[in-house]
Amino acid sequence: MSTDQTLYAPEDQIAETQSLLRDALGKYEPGRIAISFSGAEDVVLIDLVASMGLSAAVFSLDTGRLHAQTYEFIERVRKHYDISIELLSPNPKALGQLVKDKGLFSFYEDGHGECCGIRKIAPLRSKLGTLDAWITGQRRDQSVTRTDVPLRQVDTAFSTSEHSIEKYNPLANWSASQIWHYIRDFEVPYNALHDEGYTSIGCQPCTRATGPHQHERAGRWWWEEETQKECGLHHQNVISIKTLPN
């Protein structure tokens, strides 16, 4: 394997990531830590865990607005690794009230926060209430909101005074190129939308393909300020505009 770290994940980097995953999964009782799965990075995590002969609980947020290809992708991953994937759905009463009051596309007018709060944040908060830690596929080079993502951290967005949540980001120092070379080299399943120019995939109305030389998350909430492009799952990453240099 090449040692060019701008393109490939060298063997020692893979080993370091596996070591962090092994430590995380060994620290907590089964069922008290889980991988949050939605995109290419998360499947790399699942593959790395499987390559060590270990297992981890996996959950995914089913917002009800995902692309058909994303649902097909979830099913391919389930079958490929012979694992259970828990799908978390929004509260139907809260969702129904939002749609009744504001329709299906209010986020284009008043921001994605309210819709994501119901479709993503509330289900995630409920799930994390049953866990002591979770594992994400965040990378530092994904966006301006993630440049300081550590390998592990206390999740200040979801921890409470009674219940602290630890958050692991084992791929924080991987690049997009390293992720995709790993996927190709080890024949890891991926979302078919990537072959159609989608570099970061969320809900269908809030995601579009990116053009040449655009940043990979440019197709997410494209009508909003770059520093606020977090749906709330990683709210502690959001950058206050006041803190940005002039």
CATH number, domain with residue 195: 3.40.50.620
The 3-class SS string of 41-87 reads HHHHHHHHHHHCCCCCEEEEECCCCECHHHHHHHHHHHHHHCCCCEE
Q: Which residues contact 116 (CB under 8 A, 6 or more apart)?
A: 107, 231, 232
Q: pTM for this structure?
A: 0.86
Is 6 within a domain? no
Q: Quote the pLDDT of residue 230.
A: 52
Q: Model confidence over 56-105: pLDDT tens digits?
A: 999 999 999 999 999 999 999 999 999 999 999 999 999 999 999 999 99
Q: What range does the domain containing 151 cover?
A: 11-243
pLDDT for res 214: 84
5 inside domain: no
Q: Which residues are catalytic?
A: 231
Say yes or no to pLDDT of 244 above 60.
no
Task: Establish if 3 belongs to a structural domain.
Answer: no
Dist. CA 203–CA 208, nearest whole Å: 9
Q: Whose structure tokens read 């069922």?
A: 31
CA atoms within 13 A on the CB side of 85: 23
Residue 1 lies in a domain: no
Per-residue confidence at 9, pLDDT binned at 50, 70, 90? confident
pLDDT at residue 109, as a whole number: 92
Sign of CA dihedral 188, 189, 190, 195: positive
For residue 243, pLDDT beyond 70: no
Check residue 155 and give its pLDDT.
94
Domains: count for the chain? 1
Q: Is the pLDDT of residue 3 over 60?
A: no
